[in-house]
């Protein structure tokens, strides 16, 4: 197959939502339709120890939540689909924000009963800033929930989107009869045994056909006709160009747990979703169709296999063909590396691939060369932008609870911080280590992983810090910067890259500091 055709058949997307809206279940069902797995793991049920395919870390199975983004790939109708299942929990939002730099489109999952929730708002805002095309999937229709029109209004108002329904529910909860697929003009009937079977659609070009009354009952049929009339009047027609620019969002209804409405979503998705998109670097716009390979690291995962202590760097290929055993330039280190066993993913299952194309996610075994945001090229000096480290919101001193395991603790912290789960700061004054995270739940994850993956134990001590600000002086040699360092020395630390960080105890302190030292700039992200 030609290079251009390979690009055209790629679809790389992320699934985002508030926790518990059914993101991981939807991912499972997409894999099921793609023939990538034979049966889905019951995500919540502890009786079945399978667990969800995409939640493969031990702690995820215990908690029933996704902690890290997982990458899954499968072929469906000759399209190569790469799914990134992201954590919904706000304490792991940073991993999700970074993942959004590696996707070309997004599916937003919304719970029919809860509607638009806080975490969904934040993630959709990031997608809107980047004009990422979005499809909305309203999930759990087999339960009682909000009225379909109310939900569509809520999505428009709270998320600032312009929606157009491409399917519409017939009833809900106990009265849920099925959905009318506006995109394909088909009727899909719901029955309780959908978990095992995939529902077949009945062709319905004309909803005024009396056959509809026989299928769903007179009252439901009349209501559906009225609602569809309203849909056609109120909402704009679907236009692919507008969708691709991020200005129109198609909406589907269904129940992922019951396999219902998922196939319709997938069939429409592979037709309308964008193939790999160009990406901006610090020097120019890189097109996927270029012959030379470029790619960037958007995630690092330590101990994918705890027996082997391996670290994998996840690289999104932006242009060209990535080949195994070929030398590529690691731009930040300015050195060439070659990779003998690049992996393609299927959750924790990996297989070695000889070549990968734009849109693909490749896992490279890493001995500590990579950090998040690194760029690989065939020699050109460019860096892809927009993969920030955010200022943490929680800070704690980290203490070694087992003096005999100091080495393991240092190594464990070092590797986990490279993943970007949290940030490590070392105080200039006494060398004490501080961990900063976006969410408090991260501390438990770090403690758990240090003990189970590295055999090291740690304890935490609270620390009153409001924000970590990266310090950028206009001139390192001027008197003002020297005075800043002298006065603030108790609150100065360095991050893992050796950059100077000011740990401020309040917003007022930050304001006062900026007034007093105007030539010393303070930043909330490390990529300035």
Domain membership of residue 135 (yes or no) is yes
pLDDT exceeds cutoff 80 at 212: no
In this structure, are 315 and 260 located in the same domain? Answer: no
Q: Which domain holds residue 453?
A: 394-523
Is residue 252 within 8 A of residue 273, CB to CB? The reply is: no
**Over pLDDT 70: what percentage of the chain?**
83
pLDDT band at 67 (very low <50, low <70, confident <90, very high): very low
Inform me whether the pLDDT recorded for 108 exceeds 60. yes
Residues 51 and 194 in one domain: yes
Spatial contact of 522 and 509, defined as CB atoms under 8 Å apart: no
Identify any residues that bridge with 319 across adjacent strands, giving them in sequence order. 294
* Number of H-type helices and E-type strands within the chain: 14, 31
- Dist CA 169 CA 187 (whole Å): 10
Shared domain for 364 and 484, answered yes or no, is no
Whole-angstrom distance, CA of residue 414 vs CA of residue 12: 30
Question: What sections of 432-525 are H helices per DSSP?
Answer: 441-454, 479-487, 507-516
Mean pLDDT computed over 62-70: 48
* First-to-last C-alpha distance (Å) of the chain: 41
Determine the Cα–Cα distance for residues 485 and 162; give it in Å rounded to an integer.
50
Per DSSP, the three-state class of 468 is strand
* pLDDT, position 292: 92
Question: How buried is residue 304: exposed, middle or buried, by Cβ count under 10 Å (0-12/13-18/19+)?
Answer: buried
- Residues 413, 433 contacting (CB under 8 angstroms): yes
Q: Do 42 and 24 fall within a single domain? A: yes
Does 209 share its domain with 145?
A: yes
Crossing angle of the two packed helices 118-129 and 148-159, in degrees rounded to 10: 60
Out of 272, 302, 330, pick the residue that ends a domain: 272
pLDDT of residue 385: 73
Helix ranges restricted to H, 17-65:
23-33, 58-63
pLDDT > 90 in the chain, percent = 16
Clarify whether residues 85 and 28 are in a common domain. yes
Nearest-CA neighbor of 11 among 280, 167, 347, 244? 244
Indicate whether this model's pTM tops 0.85.
Answer: no
Exposed e or buried b per residue across 420-433, where buried means at least 16 C-beta atoms within 10 angstroms of its C-beta: bbbbbbbbbeeeeb
Return the DSSP state at 289: T
User: Domain check: are 66 and 125 in the same one?
Assistant: yes
HSE at residue 416, side-chain half, CA atoms within 13 A, is 28
- CA–CA separation, 111 and 115 (whole Å): 6
State which of 343, 377, 411 marks the end of a domain.
377
Here the CATH number for the domain that contains residue 344 is: 3.40.50.300
The pLDDT of residue 79: 87
Q: How many independent structural domains does the chain possess?
A: 3
Q: How far apart are CA 392 and CA 318, in angstroms?
A: 29
Q: Would you call 118 helix, strand, or coil by DSSP?
A: helix
CATH of the domain at 450: 3.30.70.3280
Q: Is residue 385 part of a domain?
A: no
Q: Are residues 236 and 134 in the same domain?
A: yes
Cα–Cα distance for residue pair 114/120, rounded to 1 Å: 11
Comparing CA positions, the residue from 474, 470, 489, 480 lying closest to residue 517 is 480
Q: Do 498 and 373 have their domain in common?
A: no
Confidence class for position 366, pLDDT limits 50, 70, 90: confident
Last residue of a domain, one of 208, 239, 272: 272
For residue 489, what are its two tokens?
Answer: 């020395």
Whether residue 352 is found in the same domain as residue 417: no
Residue 61 is encoded by which pair of tokens?
A: 């199975």
- The full 3-state SS of 53-82, as one line of letters, equals CCCCCHHHHHHCCCCCCEEEEEEECCEEEE
pLDDT at 48: 32
The pLDDT assigned to 257 comes to 83
Q: What is the pLDDT of residues 291-342, one digit of tens each?
A: 999 999 888 776 555 555 567 888 899 999 999 889 999 988 888 988 888 8
- Do the domain assignments include residue 384? no
Residue 382 lies in a domain: no
3-state secondary structure (DSSP) of residue 365: strand
Please write the tens of the pLDDT for every residue from 226-275: 888 888 888 999 999 999 988 999 999 988 888 888 888 888 898 999 99
Helix (H, G, I), strand (E, B) or coil at 314: strand
Instruction: Count Cβ atoms within 10 A of the Cβ of residue 218 and give its class: 0-12 exposed, 13-18 middle, 19 or more buried.
Output: exposed
Element (H, E) at 158: helix 148-159
Overall average pLDDT of the 390-397 stretch: 82
**Based on the domain organization, do 102 and 214 belong to the same domain?**
yes
| C-alpha span between 316 and 104 (Å, rounded) | 11
Average pLDDT, the chain: 80
pLDDT at 90 over 70: no
Please state, in angstroms and as integers, the Cα–Cα distance from residue 67 to each residue in 83, 93, 249, following that order.
16, 10, 28
Q: Quick one: which of 440, 439, 433, 458 has its CA closest to 448? A: 458
């Amino acid at each position: 197959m030609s290079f251009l055709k390979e690009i055209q058949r790629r679809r790389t997307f992320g699934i985002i939502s508030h926790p518990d809206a059914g993101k991981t279940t939807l991912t499972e069902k997409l894999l099921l339709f793609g023939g990538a797995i034979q049966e889905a793991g019951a995500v919540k049920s502890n009786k079945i120890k399978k667990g969800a395919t995409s939640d493969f870390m031990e702690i995820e199975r215990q908690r029933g939540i996704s902690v890290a983004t997982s990458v899954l790939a499968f072929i469906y109708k000759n399209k190569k689909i790469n799914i990134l299942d992201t954590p919904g929990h706000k304490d792991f939002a940073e991993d999700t924000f970074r993942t959004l730099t590696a996707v070309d489109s997004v599916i937003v999952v919304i719970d029919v009963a809860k509607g638009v929730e806080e975490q969904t708002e934040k993630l959709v805002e990031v997608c809107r800033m980047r004009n990422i095309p979005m499809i909305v999937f309203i999930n759990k229709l087999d339960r009682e929930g909000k009225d379909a029109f109310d939900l569509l209004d809520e999505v428009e108002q709270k998320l600032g989107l312009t929606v157009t329904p491409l399917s519409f529910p017939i009833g809900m909860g106990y009265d849920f009869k099925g959905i009318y697929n506006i995109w394909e003009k088909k009727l899909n009937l719901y029955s309780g045994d959908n978990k095992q079977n995939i529902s077949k659609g009945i062709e319905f070009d004309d909803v005024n056909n009396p056959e509809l009354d026989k299928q769903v009952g007179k009252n439901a049929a009349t209501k559906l006709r009225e609602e569809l009339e309203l849909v056609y009047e109120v909402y704009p027609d679907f236009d692919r160009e507008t969708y691709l620019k991020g200005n129109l969002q198609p909406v589907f209804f269904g129940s992922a747990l019951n396999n219902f409405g998922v196939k319709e979503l997938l069939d429409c998705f592979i037709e309308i979703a964008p193939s790999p998109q160009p990406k901006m670097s610090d020097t120019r716009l890189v097109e996927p169709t270029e012959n030379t390979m470029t790619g960037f690291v958007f995630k690092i995962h330590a101990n994918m296999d705890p027996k082997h202590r391996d670290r994998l760097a996840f690289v999104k290929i932006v242009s060209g063909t990535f080949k195994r055993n070929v030398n590529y330039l690691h731009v930040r280190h300015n050195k060439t590396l070659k990779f003998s066993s690049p992996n393609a993913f299927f959750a924790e299952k990996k297989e070695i691939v000889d070549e990968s194309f734009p849109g693909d996610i490749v896992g490279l075994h890493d001995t500590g060369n990579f950090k998040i945001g690194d760029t690989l090229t065939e020699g050109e000096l460019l860096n892809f932008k927009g993969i920030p480290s955010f200022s943490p919101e929680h800070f704690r001193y980290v203490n070694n609870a087992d003096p005999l395991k100091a080495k393991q603790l240092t190594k464990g912290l070092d590797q986990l911080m490279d993943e970007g789960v949290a940030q490590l700061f070392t105080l200039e004054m006494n060398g004490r280590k501080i961990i900063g995270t976006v969410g408090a739940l991260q501390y438990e994850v770090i403690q758990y992983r240090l003990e189970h993956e590295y055999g090291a134990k740690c304890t935490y001590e609270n620390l009153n810090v409001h924000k970590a600000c990266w310090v950028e002086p206009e001139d390192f040699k001027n008197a003002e910067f020297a005075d800043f360092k002298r006065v603030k020395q108790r609150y100065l630390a360095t991050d893992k890259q050796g950059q100077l960080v000011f740990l401020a105890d309040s917003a007022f302190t930050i304001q006062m500091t900026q007034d007093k030292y105007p030539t010393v700039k303070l930043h909330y992200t490390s990529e300035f």
